Amino acid sequence: GNSVTQMEGPVTLSEEAFLTINCTYTATGYPSLFWYVQYPGEGLQLLLKATKADDKGSNKGFEATYRKETTSFHLEKGSVQVSDSAVYFCALSGARTGNQFYFGTGTSLTVIP
């Protein structure tokens, strides 16, 4: 079946620290992969995406590379800011998922000054 596994949170980092949030997936076929971010009191917003193997999605200093051989899509940022404090969700979707989206459980990030 289709599923997404994210590292457990919460994660607390100091400002300017390096961030990695691990995400691995199980899927039939070749899904598209996404990272969403949810700020307090808001809905999920697309952060970045990758649609095929070896693609790198990037946005706002965040990056993730679609690794088919390890079925992973880890989120990284070189220097986090207080404003990056949010919950991050990894997700997959594709034609063989019945056009559904499968989300991970979310990883809460708090960045302290």
Partner 1 sequence: DAGVIQSPRHEVTEMGQEVTLRCKPISGHDYLFWYRQTMMRGLELLIYFNNNVPIDDSGMPEDRFSAKMPNASFSTLKIQPSEPRDSAVYFCASSPLRGRERSPLHFGNGTRLTVT
Q: What are the residues binding partner 1 (CB under 8 A)?
A: 31-32, 34, 36, 41-46, 49, 51, 89, 93-95, 98-101, 103, 105-106
Q: Show the tokens assigned to 92.
A: 């997959």
- In whole angstroms, the minimum distance from the beta carbon of 41 to partner 1 comes to 8
Q: Which is nearer to partner 1, 73 or 89 (CB)?
A: 89
Min. distance of Cβ 22 from partner 1 in angstroms?
17
| CB of 24 closer than 8 Å to CB of 70 | yes
Q: Detail the DSSP E strand segments found in 2-85.
A: 3-6, 11-14, 19-21, 23-26, 32-38, 44-50, 56-59, 62-65, 75-77
Nearest approach, Cβ of residue 67 and partner 1 (Å): 18
